[in-house]
Amino acid sequence: MAQASELAPGSKLVHPKFGTGMILSLDDTYYKIYFYTTEEVKTLARDYEGFTVEEAKVPDFPMLTMKDVEKAIREALIQTSERAPIVPLGGKWMGGNVVFEPNDASLQPKEIPMSAFFHKIVMVREKLRVLEQNINNHPKLDDEDRVHLQQYITRAYGSLTTFNVLFAYKEDQFRGSGGKE
């Protein structure tokens, strides 16, 4: 018979205080169990030894935990969204820093390498482009909705034109509604 720490959702067990319950879900450490007599869901440790297993369900597939899902999402993001095109920083800015000086002299300024700041700006641009593609290819949006949402993105590009001075090449720069494409 399966140990209480290896049970799958659907397993029934008896707890000395809460009575008979069914496992609804689990993670690395805990079970979420619905107890019939109290009609409550309780979170209890998987390694608790006071359970009596009434009906064991053992997964016939590998059980995914939240950590597994988080790891898969993190890896997918690294493989896709962090693959920004190589956009060169203007030569005069290479090796420079961005300094944020607070008005209050008792507060310390924040200094960031220009290359890191520029990378963040390029990533914002790439995420706006992906959003733009998703809007244009969305099956449930009609043309009017697409145009309306596209106008917001164009205005966002326009708000970012201040940073155009950082780009090495004009074709990489932001263009708002006034820019020619």
Given 37, 66, 95, the domain boundary residue is 66
Q: What is the Cα–Cα distance from 52 to 36, expressed in whole angstroms?
A: 15
Q: How far is CA 113 from CA 95, 116, 147, 174, in A?
A: 7, 5, 37, 21
Range of the domain at 120: 85-172
Number of domains forming the structure of the chain: 2
Model confidence pLDDT, tens digit, residues 19-54: 999 998 888 788 999 999 888 999 999 888 888 999
Domain check: are 20 and 99 in the same one?
A: no
Per-residue pLDDT band for 126 (boundaries 50, 70, 90) equals: confident
Domain check: are 145 and 91 in the same one?
A: yes
Domain check: are 167 and 134 in the same one?
A: yes
Please, are residues 31 and 51 in contact by the beta-carbon 8 Å criterion? no
Q: What is the mean pLDDT of residues 157-164?
A: 91
Q: What is the Cα–Cα distance from 34 to 14, expressed in whole angstroms?
A: 11
Q: Which of 1-10, 19-28, 107-116: highest mean pLDDT?
A: 107-116
Domain check: are 95 and 143 in the same one?
A: yes
Specify the pLDDT at position 43: 92
What percentage of the chain reaches a pLDDT higher than 70? 85
Q: What is the mean pLDDT of residues 158-176?
A: 89
1 pLDDT exceeds 50?
Answer: no
Q: What is the mean pLDDT of residues 72-80?
A: 70
Model confidence pLDDT, tens digit, residues 127-139: 888 888 888 888 8
